[in-house]
Amino acid sequence: MLKVAASLTAHLAPNYHPLEVELTTGEGSWVTDVDGKRYLDCLAGYSALNFGHANPELLEATHAQLDKLTLVSRAFDHDQLLPFAAELTELTGTEMMLPMNTGAEAVETAIKAARRWGYQVKGVASEQATIIVADNSFHGRTTTIISFSTDATAKDAFGPYTPGFRIVPYGDLDAVRDAIDDTTVAVLFEPIQGESGVVMPPDNFLPGLRELCDEREILMILDEIQSGLGRTGTTLAQDHAGIRADLITLGKALGGGIMPVSAVVGRRDVLGLLTPGTHGSTFGGNPLACAVGRAVVRILKRGEVQESAQRLGVMMRERLQRIADAGHLAEVRSRGLWAGIDVEPQLGLTGRQLCERLAERGMLCKDTHGSTIRLAPPLTISEEDLHTAMDILEGVLNDQAHEVGLD
């Protein structure tokens, strides 16, 4: 693996600690580094690459739009925006869409819309609105969003923080109920916590939350930026619970791994409160982003990637369970083609060390924290390639177990 020259790293802010690979091309589930070594990409851009690298259908739509019109700003209409809004709301079973760029901006937009609804419709006293959120959540990196983070690394020394959030234990419906008062305008949760290591709430949590929100007249906001758009075997992760949130944030895979495209979709009576001048973005809803987003929606509408996420997810689960049964994983959590695995502590291997060894053998992953890593290969990965990835993982863990005398 190539070691990047220290003289070059001096010019880059050190807010990431990447594995020592320097990639130069990508196709499907495979990426190649500057030395020509190939790796299976089992991070897939934190699920921004659900449809693989250089997806031909997405590239074609992008190239076609590049030659026509790329940016007009929202000062003018263009021919991609209204069709994108219609197609994305149809796909997600919602009424209205507000386009942004990054995931964090979509979350900020949902927070603003919920607060406005709280003041203008629910009648919450001015400046008093609260939103209930979960511990160990991840919703982005803006100052307001880190204000309700429980991750000290993400939060410390960035204050003063934005008030108006109440943190409850994730998946605890009684705690949500207890946190509600006259100031509560919304709850904001991930249907499955991604950065936290693919953590699922109890089965009754989302349906119970839906009922509670209806009963207490509170908006239910679900952040599907990482869990959505096919990853769990359904278009949205909340489909498993058979519910629809009032506002849903989408991002990551909505940009097809090509560019940042995000959106809030949801109720017309809520998003409709964001009238001209109250919210916006220079790049949000630009023609190129809309063309990419429309091509993503077209793929998802066919349902094939959701089906393969489901089918391959079963296979991945079986392979991971076998490794757990051998005593090398302490826990496996998965839904669709998305898994969080905790390395057995006795192996004495941090998530980071595991990722380094996997990379040596041609598989790219990222640790989330401690000895937990997340597996999220492109949904377009072949069965054979997924078996190869599982072989590599199994091999590294077997060798380590042998090394420490655990086999």
Ligand X SMILES: *Cc1c(COP(=O)(O)O)cnc(C)c1O
Catalytic residue positions? 138, 223, 252
DSSP state for residue 28 in the 8-state scheme: B
> 149 or 306, CB closer to ligand X?
149
Contact window for ligand X (CB under 6 A) among 56-64, 76-84, 135-143, 197-205: 135-143
Return all residues near 384 (Cβ < 8 A) that are at least 6 apart: none
Q: How far apart are CA 168 and CA 180, in angstroms?
A: 11
Rounded Cα–Cα distance for residues 172 and 132 (Å): 12
State which of residues 139, 166, 294, 374 lies at the interface with ligand X (CB under 6 A).
139
**Of these, 190, 239, 342, 385, which contacts ligand X (CB under 6 A)?**
190
373 membership: H or E segment, kind and range: strand 372-375
Q: What minimum distance in Å lies between the beta carbon of 233 and ligand X?
A: 18
User: Least separation, in Å, of the C-beta of 195 and ligand X?
Assistant: 6
**Identity of the residue, 145 or 299, whose beta carbon is nearer to ligand X in the bound complex:** 145
Least distance in Å: CB of 157 to ligand X? 20
First to last CA, the chain: 30
Closer residue to ligand X in complex, CB, 154/179: 154
- 243 versus 392: smaller Cβ distance to ligand X: 243
Taking each continuous run of H as one helix and of E as one strand, the counts in the chain are 14, 15
Backbone dihedral region for residue 249 (phi beyond 0: left; psi -120 to 50: alpha; all else: beta): beta
What residue number has its CB nearest to ligand X? 103
What residues from 214 to 273 belong to the interface with ligand X (CB under 6 A)?
223, 225-226, 251-252
Binding track over 72-111 against ligand X, x by CB under 6 A: ------------------------------xxx--x----
**What are the b/e assignments for 330-365, b being 16+ CB within 10 Å?**
eebbbbbbbbbbbbbeebebbbebbbbbbbebebbb
Smallest separation, CB 350 to ligand X (Å): 22
Cα angle: 224, vertex 279, 212; to 5 degrees: 45
Which residues contact ligand X (rule: CB under 6 A)?
46, 102-104, 107, 138-140, 190, 194, 223, 225-226, 251-252
